[in-house]
């Protein structure tokens, strides 16, 4: 297996992009990635997209987007794993390059979510849950994560203030990200005073509906040295795992086993320990999700991520900065694109190009991207090649 590098990245500004179509959004991220890499063409591409059929009525997007990007007849594959679609697209592209099947691969994620109303968007997102047993009985993702939050509170003493601080921190980070959907700071009081969606989760505990795309160019590490004069970022470890899609089938609502397994495998492949990780992009679809995934990955013991957040441990400048991009909460959550958006941020940080939100001395980062309530998870370790 060949070592794989990321030599180009691209991302558009995320938000409610009323005037742009799915194909427009995709191309505005893919073309900058190709330009950043300095390559003239690609051998293949993988597109993470959760539900273009339900959101914009368009399937067969691999052909559509390859055509619109102008790379026909390159191999193109759509990848779906709910909100982990982008992360899994990266893993597919990594395998393509590592195996020797392709040399230059575009990996991307895209979602256009605002062309439908709120009820239709809720339905589309609910298809990432167990439709027969959860969605049919009225369970939405805010409701499912509220159950997780309540259990975490009961067992570990987690408080609404701890949840709110996740949102406050991520908005503070996102206010420094020009591509973020919400570039404003918020206070703990604003979070706790916002509309209750599913007790104990307020509207400001929840990630938004977002349009957006992100892309990256992969190639063999040895080839990267001849293609770019930018700092080279290597994919040191990447792994995916699954769990029961229905949370009622799990022994522990707060344990997120797919997250645990994917992170353990990725770190083992990269030969990294927790102390080697300089920053994390974690899947904070809800504030409780960030707390649970940090504990599942072993960065904190169960019940300790909430207090650590209050203490500033996970802020930029803290011991382990988490979601310096703003995370899903502030940067936005175009579900199929989120996993590649995390990679975009890590590459910017490892290159030293993150401007106002730069983590000093960042050399190794972890991205964790999951689907639904943790039914699927992808973990990726990136490090800069000295």
Tokens of 62: 């691999």
Q: Do 275 and 196 fall into the same domain?
A: yes
Looking at the structure of the chain, the number of domains it has is 2
Question: How far is Cα 322 from Cα 305, in angstroms, rounded to an integer?
Answer: 11
Q: Do 183 and 300 fall into the same domain?
A: yes
CB 31 within 8 A of CB 11: no
Active-site residue, selected from the candidate residues 49, 83, 206, 219:
83
CB 49 within 8 A of CB 61: yes
Question: How far is Cα 279 from Cα 187, in angstroms, rounded to an integer?
Answer: 23
CA distances from 184 to 95, 326, 333 (A): 38, 10, 16
The pLDDT score that the predictor gives to residue 294 is 98
pLDDT tens-digit series, residues 300-322: 999 999 999 999 999 999 999 99
Boundary residue ending a domain (200, 227, 254): 227
Q: Do 14 and 51 fall into the same domain?
A: yes
Between 338-351 and 85-98, two packed helices, what is the crossing angle to 10 degrees? 60
Active-site residue, selected from the candidate residues 152, 171, 333, 364:
333
**Of 13, 10, 34, which is closest to residue 180 (Cα–Cα)?**
13
Tokens of 347: 């590459």
Q: Do 80 and 137 fall into the same domain?
A: no
Question: How far is Cα 135 from Cα 119, in angstroms, rounded to an integer?
Answer: 13
Percent of the chain with pLDDT over 70: 100
**Of 18, 342, 329, which is closest to residue 184 (Cα–Cα)?**
329
Q: Do 200 and 223 fall into the same domain?
A: no
Region 268-292 average pLDDT: 98
Q: Do 221 and 162 fall into the same domain?
A: no
Q: Do 223 and 202 fall into the same domain?
A: no
Q: How many CB atoms lie within 10 A of CB 339?
A: 32
Question: How far is Cα 147 from Cα 141, in angstroms, rounded to an integer?
Answer: 10
Region 140-162 average pLDDT: 97
Identify the CATH number of the domain in which residue 214 sits. 3.40.47.10
The pLDDT score that the predictor gives to residue 301 is 98
Rounded (10°) CA dihedral 184, 187, 189, 191: 50
Q: Do 32 and 100 fall into the same domain?
A: yes
Confidence of residue 386 (pLDDT cuts 50, 70, 90): confident
The pLDDT score that the predictor gives to residue 348 is 98
pLDDT tens-digit series, residues 330-385: 999 999 999 999 999 999 999 999 999 999 999 999 999 999 999 999 999 999 99
Whether 285 is catalytic = no
Mark 198-208 as b/e (b = at least 16 C-beta within 10 Å).
bebbbebbbbb
Q: Do 246 and 315 fall into the same domain?
A: yes
Q: Do 35 and 144 fall into the same domain?
A: no
Tokens of 77: 């594959």
Confidence of residue 5 (pLDDT cuts 50, 70, 90): very high
Q: Do 198 and 262 fall into the same domain?
A: yes
Question: How far is Cα 293 from Cα 350, in angstroms, rounded to an integer?
Answer: 22
Boundary residue ending a domain (227, 256, 279): 227
Domain ranges, residue 336: 124-208+236-384
Residue 246, phi then psi, degrees to nearest 5: -95, 120
Whether 202 is catalytic = no
Residue 138, phi then psi, degrees to nearest 5: 95, 5
Residue 131 has pLDDT above 90, yes or no: yes
Q: Do 176 and 137 fall into the same domain?
A: yes
Q: Tell whether omega for the bond before 73 is within 30 degrees of 0, i.e. cis.
A: yes
Rounded (10°) CA dihedral 33, 39, 42, 47: -10
Region 243-255 average pLDDT: 95
Region 25-50 average pLDDT: 97
């Amino acid at each position: 297996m060949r070592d794989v590098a990321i030599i180009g990245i691209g991302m558009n500004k995320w938000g409610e992009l009323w005037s742009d179509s799915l194909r427009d959004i995709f191309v505005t991220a893919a073309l900058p990635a190709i330009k950043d890499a300095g390559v003239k063409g690609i051998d293949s591409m993988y597109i993470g997209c959760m539900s273009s059929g339900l959101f914009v009525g368009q399937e067969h997007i691999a052909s559509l987007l390859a055509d619109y990007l102008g790379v026909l007849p390159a191999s193109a594959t759509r990848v779906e794993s709910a909100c982990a679609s982008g992360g899994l697209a990266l893993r597919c592209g990594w395998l393509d390059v590592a195996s020797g099947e392709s040399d230059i691969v575009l990996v991307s994620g895209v979602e256009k979510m605002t062309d439908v109303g709120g009820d239709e968007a809720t339905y589309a997102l609910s298809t990432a849950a167990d439709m027969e047993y959860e969605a049919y009985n009225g369970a939405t993702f805010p409701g499912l994560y509220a159950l997780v939050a309540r259990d975490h509170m009961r067992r570990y003493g987690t408080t609404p203030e701890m949840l709110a601080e996740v949102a406050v921190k991520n908005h503070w980070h996102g206010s420094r990200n020009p591509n973020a959907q919400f570039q404003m700071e918020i206070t703990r009081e604003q979070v706790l005073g916002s509309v209750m969606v599913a007790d104990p989760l307020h509207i400001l505990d929840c990630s938004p509906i977002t349009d957006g795309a992100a892309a990256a160019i992969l190639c063999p590490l040895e080839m990267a040295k001849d293609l770019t004069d930018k700092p080279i970022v290597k994919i040191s470890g990447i792994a995916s795992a699954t769990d029961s899609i229905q949370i009622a089938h799990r022994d522990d609502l707060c344990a997120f086993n797919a997250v645990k397994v994917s992170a353990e495998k990725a770190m083992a492949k990269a030969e990294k320990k927790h102390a080697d990780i300089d920053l994390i992009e974690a899947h904070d679809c809800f504030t409780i999700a960030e707390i649970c995934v940090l504990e599942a990955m072993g960065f904190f013991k169960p019940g300790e991520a909430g207090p650590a957040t209050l203490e500033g441990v996970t802020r930029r400048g803290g011991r382990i900065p988490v979601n310096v991009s703003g995370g899903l909460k502030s940067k936005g959550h175009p579900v199929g694109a989120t996993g590649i958006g995390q990679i975009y941020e890590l590459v910017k940080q490892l290159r030293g190009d993150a401007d106002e939100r730069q983590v000093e001395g960042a050399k190794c980062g972890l991205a964790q991207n999951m689907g639904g309530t943790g039914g699927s998870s992808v973990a990726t370790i990136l490090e800069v090649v000295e």
